[in-house]
């Protein structure tokens, strides 16, 4: 059983404890540990132990960070850990036991989360909130997921910018695909980190994600995902009473509205105070925040509802529709796509990269896309090139443009009837198989009709970047046509943003 560990981090000091526990634990070690640095403005790299890989996430949120991490990973099992948990000493051995022998229909295994509570007093409102993780279903604070299952559903939905609901969304989509999720016996400890008095107000932004869950999965998603019912309806009612108390046209209605608001606010405050320590500081905090919490919750939910409907109507975001799924791998034609075409070139010194190609490839690598070259080289069959010369040119391409995980080429001529020469799908299928990525999660970019026809035949997404030599009928037949390789990458990943991740 081979597994990689992905840990997104916002730069918390607790990350060191996670990595130390992974290093010192008992049981099989992870093949790779990938830390996704999701700080928005990270000028200095993280101080990580030897052997731990790092990639910049650019502050796009936990869903995007986890996607970046698992796409960089290569093991059949990907284990997601938060940067503020501490795996138990035997966590690695227990993980092996949890995963060993699971049938193919099981897509994921969740570890148990233990949140220590103070022994000398009742827990505060914030501490009880964190303790809820012990009962959470499918929390990626410790979740192992098959790589194939992630590929099947496209990974995490990056339309969820905050933590928590992206976990539930992934679990529901895995179950909708006919897969199962199980609980394991391993556990991690999740200490309660310090939080300011406004933490409960900041958490209300999560109601916007709940609204997106309503739109994506229907009103019954909470029961399916094992999520608590929450108090949104009460918050909306209290907010409505407050609005009536301020804006109603008649004095009697305003008085009634204020009375209902006061009663609802008092009930909320007592529900939060009663199980807590009831000291003066905690009581004051609960009274102040309980007055502000309902309108904040209702406002975030309404804002999230409008955003969710817009996203779904537009098919926006990485999971809006299949065509919008960010690819796991991008397969590129060589001549006139990556480098200037020199017919039957066997001289590495004549390799010249096309403008903008290096930047486009860097962006794909930073996004975690795996890269391959797929190229027809009929000059070998015609006796105009040797395989050694083709390989030397390919090596020069990589020295100029950076590494490609897989480089495959067809040495046959048009008359040979092989299965690998584009527009047949052989090269695309071979590259996808060697990368370990389903063809449906690959994009093929090339400059002629044969490139996109090969993609179509293999079940991959094809994008044509025509040159002056591309025939008009090839352009007309292509599903997607763009002006440059950079435009093709923007089509796959979205437009470049100010928080674009960069390679570590």
| Residue 373: strand pairing partners | 332, 407
Q: Cα–Cα distance between 136 and 6 in angstroms, integer?
A: 20
Query: b vs e for 364-378, b when ≥16 Cβ sit within 10 Å of the residue's Cβ?
Result: bbbbbbbbbbbbbbb
Query: b vs e for 83-113, b when ≥16 Cβ sit within 10 Å of the residue's Cβ?
Result: bbbbbbebbbebbeebbeebeeebbbbbbeb
As to burial, measured by CB atoms within 10 angstroms (0-12 exposed, 13-18 middle, 19+ buried), residue 393 is: buried
Instruction: Determine the Cα angle at 105 with ends 71 and 68, to 5°.
Output: 10
The question of whether 98 is a catalytic residue gets the answer no
Beta strand 32-37 pairing with 442-446: unpaired
Helix, coil or strand: residue 24: helix
Find the catalytic residue in 38, 125, 333, 336.
Answer: 333
Q: 495: Cβ–Cβ under 8 A, 6 or more apart, which residues?
A: none
* H/E run at residue 95: helix 91-99
As to burial, measured by CB atoms within 10 angstroms (0-12 exposed, 13-18 middle, 19+ buried), residue 409 is: buried
Find the catalytic residue in 83, 98, 335, 451.
Answer: 335
The number of angstroms, rounded, from the C-alpha of 304 to the middle of its chain's C-alpha atoms is 20
- DSSP secondary structure code for residue 139 in this structure: -
Beta strand 180-189 pairing with 86-87: antiparallel
The question of whether 359 is a catalytic residue gets the answer no
Looking up tokens 């919750």 gives: 297
Helix, coil or strand: residue 185: strand
Helix axes 357-366, 485-493, angle to 10 degrees: 20
As to burial, measured by CB atoms within 10 angstroms (0-12 exposed, 13-18 middle, 19+ buried), residue 39 is: middle
Q: Are 303 and 310 in contact (CB under 8 A)?
A: no
Rg value, the chain, Cα: 27
Q: Cα–Cα distance between 327 and 94 in angstroms, integer?
A: 33
Q: Cα–Cα distance between 268 and 291 in angstroms, integer?
A: 9
Q: Cα–Cα distance between 64 and 158 in angstroms, integer?
A: 5
| Residue 408: strand pairing partners | 374
Tokens of 120: 């000398």
| Residue 72: strand pairing partners | none
Q: What is the side-by-side strand order in the sheet with 406-410? A: 406-410, 370-376, 329-332, 442-446, 461-464
Whose CA is closest to 369, among 493, 504, 465, 495? 493
Catalytic residues: 333, 335
């Amino acid at each position: 059983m081979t597994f990689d560990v992905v840990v997104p981090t916002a730069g918390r000091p607790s990350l060191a404890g996670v990595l130390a526990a992974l290093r010192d634990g008992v049981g099989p070690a992870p093949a790779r540990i990938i830390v996704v640095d999701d700080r928005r403005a990270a000028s200095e790299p993280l101080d990580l132990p030897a052997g731990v890989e790092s990639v910049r996430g650019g502050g796009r949120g936990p869903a995007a960070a986890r996607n970046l991490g698992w796409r960089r990973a290569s093991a059949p099992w990907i284990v997601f850990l938060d940067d503020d948990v501490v795996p138990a000493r035997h966590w690695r051995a227990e993980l092996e036991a949890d995963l060993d022998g699971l049938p193919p229909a099981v897509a994921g295994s969740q570890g148990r989360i233990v949140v220590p509570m103070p022994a000398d007093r009742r827990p505060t409102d914030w501490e009880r909130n964190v303790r809820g993780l012990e009962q959470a279903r499918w929390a990626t604070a410790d979740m192992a997921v098959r790589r194939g299952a992630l590929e099947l559903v496209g990974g995490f939905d990056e339309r969820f910018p905050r933590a928590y609901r992206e976990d539930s969304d992934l679990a529901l989509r895995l179950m909708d695909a006919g897969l199962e999720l199980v609980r394991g016996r391993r556990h991690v400890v999740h200490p309660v980190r310090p939080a300011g008095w406004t933490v409960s107000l900041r958490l209300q932004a999560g109601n916007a994600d709940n609204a997106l869950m309503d739109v994506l999965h229907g009103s019954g998603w909470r029961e399916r995902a094992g999520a608590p019912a929450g108090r949104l309806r009460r918050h909306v009612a209290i907010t409505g009473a407050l609005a009536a108390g301020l804006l109603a046209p008649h004095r009697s209605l305003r008085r009634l509205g204020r009375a209902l608001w006061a009663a609802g606010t008092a009930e909320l405050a007592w529900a939060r105070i009663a199980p807590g320590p009831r000291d003066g500081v905690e009581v004051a905090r609960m009274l102040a925040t309980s007055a502000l919490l309902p309108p904040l919750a209702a406002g975030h939910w309404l804002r999230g509802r409008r955003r969710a409907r817009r996203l779904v109507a537009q098919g926006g975001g990485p999971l809006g529709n299949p065509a919008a799924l960010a690819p796991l791998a991008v397969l590129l034609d060589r001549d006139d796509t990556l480098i200037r075409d020199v017919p039957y070139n066997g001289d590495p010194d004549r390799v010249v990269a096309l403008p903008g190609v290096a930047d486009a490839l860097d962006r794909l690598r930073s996004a975690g896309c795996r890269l391959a070259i797929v190229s027809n080289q009929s000059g070998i069959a015609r006796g105009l090139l040797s395989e050694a010369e083709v390989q030397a040119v390919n090596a020069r391409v990589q020295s100029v443009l950076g590494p490609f995980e897989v480089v495959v080429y067809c040495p046959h001529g048009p008359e040979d009837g092989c299965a690998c020469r584009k527009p047949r799908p052989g090269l695309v299928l071979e590259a996808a198989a060697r990368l370990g990525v389903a063809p449906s999660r690959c994009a093929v970019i090339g400059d002629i009709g044969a490139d996109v026809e090969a993609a179509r035949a293999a079940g991959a997404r094809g994008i044509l970047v025509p040159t002056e030599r591309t025939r008009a009928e090839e352009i007309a037949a292509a599903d997607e046509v763009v002006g440059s390789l950079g435009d093709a990458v923007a089509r796959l990943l979205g437009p470049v943003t100010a928080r674009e991740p960069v390679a570590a």
